[in-house]
Amino acid sequence: MAKVAVVTGSSSGIGYETSLLLARNQIKTYATMRNMSKSDGIIKIASEENLQLDVAQLDVNDDLSVNKAIDKIVKDNDRIDILVNNAGYDLFGPLEESSLEEIKQQFETNFFGVIRTTKAVIPTMRKQGNGTIINVSSVGGKVGLLPFLTAYHASKFAIEGFTESLRQELDDFNINIILIEPGYVSSSFLDNSKSAKGFDSNKSPYAKKVQQVFQGFESITAYSSHPSKVAQTILDVLNSPNPELRNPVGKDADSIFKARAELSDKEMEQWARETYMDKKGFIRQ
């Protein structure tokens, strides 16, 4: 019997590539997305390649949407083997000029969205006696690299603590929870980034530094990975008999984690600052 996977945020980027790759590897895959009008492309490919891939509406911010989608998948298959918590975005802006509502929304999707879907699948995985939950965190879930991404970093740090603790809670039931930690990925992520509404580049006291960070993005994105590389890491984790908890993706992620292991907190901060001030990028020679 084919394994059953649910992937959130499959309308683009990492979620889109992961859904297709899992389906191409004989996993019955539910490519879920909040906006079904974005499903035509993936449905067309699935049909052309005769893949076991269905799309389903699932907004990770919405209890009803999550429970409806998961209940239907369980009803139709009697199981869920894999959940990939991928949906997410970043809120960009100085904290002082970001509203509490914008920050809560960031957590609603990136953190509570993961909790919502995870809670929805656990009873099924526990009863069937196995399952894998893959949380797409970020290198920024381990290291607070850049300014003006406070809520994003915090939401991903939260995922990491949540994952470490939940692993121990669910190991008796043979449910494994894994972190994927990409560096910069060339998806629609930056286009989908939300800017704090209170930030005005003509008036903000942070405008100069924001400009420096934007300019630094060029070098930061120079070592980007294609979303399919993240998808391949997810498939490798699923095929591994004993996967690692943390799975970095990309040259930049490897370099950042190496630096984090070698440098003091202050040295790390200095190095991160140099990447956007001096545009050196997150690759250490």
**Which chain residues interact with ligand NAP by CB under 6 A?**
8-9, 11-15, 33-35, 38, 59-61, 86-89, 109, 113, 136, 138, 182, 184-185, 187-189, 192, 227
Closest CA to 140 of 76, 212, 88, 195: 88
* Phi, then psi, of 264 in degrees rounded to 5: -70, 170
How far the first Cα of the chain sits from its last, in Å, is 48
Longest dimension (CA), the chain: 60
Per the structure block, which two tokens stand in for 275?
A: 């990447």
Nearer to ligand NAP among residue 90 and residue 207 (C-beta): 90
Task: Tell me phi and psi for residue 281, to 5 degrees.
Answer: 80, 160
Rounded CA-CA distance 194/192 in Å is 6
Residue (131 or 227) nearer to ligand NAP, CB:
227
Output the CA–CA distances (angstroms, integers) from residue 267 to 117, 151, 248, 260, 270, in the order listed. 38, 23, 21, 9, 5
Contact 113, 84 (CB under 8 A): no
* Residue 143: both structure tokens together: 């290291």
- CA-based torsion, 265, 89, 23, 230: positive or negative: negative
CA distance linking residue 82 with residue 283, whole number of Å: 33
The verdict on whether 152 is a catalytic residue reads: yes
Would you name the residues annotated as active-site residues?
152
